[in-house]
Amino acid sequence: MKFFMDTAEIDEIRPLVETGLVDGVTTNPSLIMQSGRDIFEVTKEICDLVDGPVSAEVAATDYETMVREAAALYDIADNVCLKVPLTKDGLKTCKYFTDQKKMVNVTLCFSATQALLAAKAGATFISPFVGRLDDIAHDGMSLIQDIRIIYDNYDFNTQILVASTRHNMHILDSALIGADVVTLPPKVLHQLFKHPLTDTGLAAFLEDWQKTGQSIAD
């Protein structure tokens, strides 16, 4: 399963890229606003840092303007993945660019039938928002399960990109279901490193090592 970082903060992305765990990045208008950066400048910096897809989202809602904005976003770098909303005009834009072999991430998916439409439009990625469904007392992960079954039934190539992840269990369940990608805030990735038995085990090993009086590097 691929890990995408859901942020537009360069200082958060760079150290995680150095771990080898980052396969791509997703941004959206809210994350760009939070960064306080120009969308073209920050997206170019991210694309230079990351080898994989970097999702950059249109702000328009009509097809003609989406296409114009998309052209400007695709010009930033070869690894830009256009991000469009799951609307009729968004899917029309998706088909237009996927027919040209461009990457498109269809976002704001909240039902399996919406995901089916995105796959038929040729989407590279579909982004179901599990956390937002959980917020309204729906089971977000059941949506991922349904999409996985539908895509496998018909051999769709669209990758399931689990979005709006909030905690470790979202990541674990996504992997168990067989999602292709999760996009997660850096703080959630940092949580994946943590386990109390790792901490206590390491402390015990270090204590015993000090008692030997030995040094490995010297």
Is residue 185 domain-resident? yes
**65 has pLDDT over 90:** yes
Strands 181-184 and 80-85: unpaired
Per-residue pLDDT tens digits for 7-29: 999 999 999 999 999 999 999 99
The pTM score is 0.96
Residue 181 belongs to domain spanning: 2-212
Q: What pLDDT is recorded for position 77?
A: 98
Confidence of residue 93 (pLDDT cuts 50, 70, 90): very high
Is residue 156 domain-resident? yes
**Amino acid identity of 102?**
K
Tell me which residue of 144, 151, 145 sits closest to 129, measured CA to CA.
Answer: 144
Per-residue pLDDT tens digits for 123-163: 999 999 999 999 999 999 999 999 999 999 999 999 999 99
Q: What pLDDT is recorded for position 218?
A: 79
Is residue 170 domain-resident? yes
Is residue 204 domain-resident? yes
Q: What is the CATH number of the domain that holds 104?
A: 3.20.20.70
Is residue 167 domain-resident? yes
Is residue 46 domain-resident? yes
Catalytic positions, please? 83
Instruction: Please work out, in degrees rounded to the nearest 5, the angle formed at the alpha carbon of residue 132 by the alpha carbons of 171 and 154.
Output: 65
Is residue 218 domain-resident? no
Is residue 217 domain-resident? no
Residues 6+ apart with CB under 8 A from 66: 58, 60, 84, 89, 90, 93
What is the distance of C-alpha 21 from the center of its chain?
12
User: Cα(37)–Cα(209) distance, rounded to whole angstroms?
Assistant: 47
Number of domains in the chain: 1
Per-residue pLDDT tens digits for 30-39: 999 999 999 9
- In sign, the C-alpha dihedral spanning 25, 31, 32, 34 is negative
